[in-house]
Amino acid sequence: MLGKAFGGAERSFVDTALALAARGHAVQAICHAEFSKQNLLENVPNLELCRVRAGGEWDFLTPRKIEKLLLEFGTEIVHTQLKRAAWHGGRAAKRAGVPVVAKLHNYVQLARYKYVHTLFCTTQDQRRHVLEANWPEDRVEVVPNFSRIEPVDFVKKASAGPLRILTYGRYVPKKGFDVLLRAFRSLLDAGIDAQLVIGGQGSELAALLALAADLKLSQQVELGVWIDDVSDALSMADLFVLPSLDEPFGVVMLEAMASGVPIVSTKTKGPLEVLNADTAILVEIGSEGDLFKGMLAVENDRLAADQRAETALQLYRDRYYEAAVIPRIEALYRRVIAAS
C-alpha cells in the first residue's frame, strides 16, 4: 500500500497484514515512508515493515526498490492495494518473477493493473465492472472486506438518555455528512433527544462546522474528532448511520455489525450487497427526509431495531469476520501461485 492517509483501503491493508501474521505467515508489509498509521505495523511478530518513498506513475526508482525488498524477503506472492501499489508493485514483482494479486476498492480504470495476475473484488458489482473492461473471467474473484473486530456476544441495548448516533469517515463530499446534519436537525425538531458524533478529518471539516452552526447544532453535534478505537466508540452508540452518496463497500458498516449496533444506511452499492431489510434500515441516497425517517424509526421501535442488529451480527460472524474471510484469501494466494 503506497498511500499516505488512512481510509478504508489503508485499514484493509493493515488488517490483512496483521491477520496473516497472526496466522503464522511471514509477511512483508511495504508502505509509503509517510504512511500515517505505519505504527500499527511496527514490532509485530512474523511481520517485516518496509518503507519506500513512492512517487507518481512515472517514478522508475520505486519498482526497483520494491524488487530488491521482494528478493531479499524471498517473496512467494505480492498482494497490492489500490492503483499506485498495483502499478509500482506489479512492475517490481514482474522483475522479481513473483505473481501479483490486487484488491480493488473502487471502480478504477485497469491500465495500471497490467502486471497483476488476479484481481479480487469486494462485491459482485465490482466484478461486473472489471469484466466489462475485458479483464479475463478466470482471473477475477470476489472476496469481501472483513473486520478484525471480535463480534460481541449480544446486541447492545439502548442507553438511557439521549439517542446516541455515531458515524465516521473522511470528511469528503461523497460521505454525505452534510445530508446527515440536515436530517439530524429534523430529528431534533421532531422532539427526539439525541446526540451525534461524526468522527474523522478531511477537507470538508470547515464546511461541516459552518453548516452545524447554521443549523444551530453546535451543542448536539461533535465534529473533528479522530476515532482510533472504533470498538470503544461503537460500544457507546445506540445507532450507526452510513449516509454515503457513494460507497463501493464500507468497512465501517462491518464494524457496526460486529458491535451489535442498529444501522441506518443509504442504498449505495456496497451496503446493498451486504445489508437488506432484515439487517438494517436502508434509505434513498442523498435524501435527508428519508434519513430522518430511518433514524426516527429506530427510536420509535427499538425492538425491531434490535432484531435487525441481531441478524446483522450473525451475518458478520458467518461471512465478514476475519476468521471467515482470511482463509479465502489464503486459498486465493495458493491458486495464483500454483497457476504461475
For residues 92 and 132, membership in a common domain is answered with yes
Query: Comparing C-alpha atoms, which of 19, 80, 20, 74 is closest to residue 54?
Result: 80
Average pLDDT over the chain, rounded to whole? 95
Per-residue pLDDT for 159 more than 80? no
What domain range includes position 37?
8-146+322-339
**135 with 108: CB under 8 angstroms?**
no
With a pLDDT cut of 90, the percent of the chain lying above it is: 89
Q: How far is CA 159 from the centre of its chain?
A: 27
Alpha carbon distances (Å) from 335 to 22, 98, 120, 124, 330: 21, 13, 13, 20, 9
What would the pLDDT profile of 281-314 be if each residue is shown by its tens digit? 999 999 999 999 999 999 999 999 999 999 999 9
Is the whole model's pTM more than 0.85, yes or no? yes
Say how many domains are in the chain: 2
Q: What is the CATH number of the domain that holds 76?
A: 3.40.50.2000
For residues 195 and 141, membership in a common domain is answered with no
Cell of 15: 488488517
Structural domain contains residue 28? yes
- Computed on alpha carbons and rounded to an integer, the radius of gyration of the chain in Å comes to 21
Residue 329 pLDDT grade (very low, low, confident, very high; cuts 50, 70, 90): very high
For residues 90 and 167, membership in a common domain is answered with no
On the CB side of 169, how many CA atoms lie within 13 Å of its CA? 26
DSSP class of residue 149 equals S
For residues 181 and 314, membership in a common domain is answered with yes
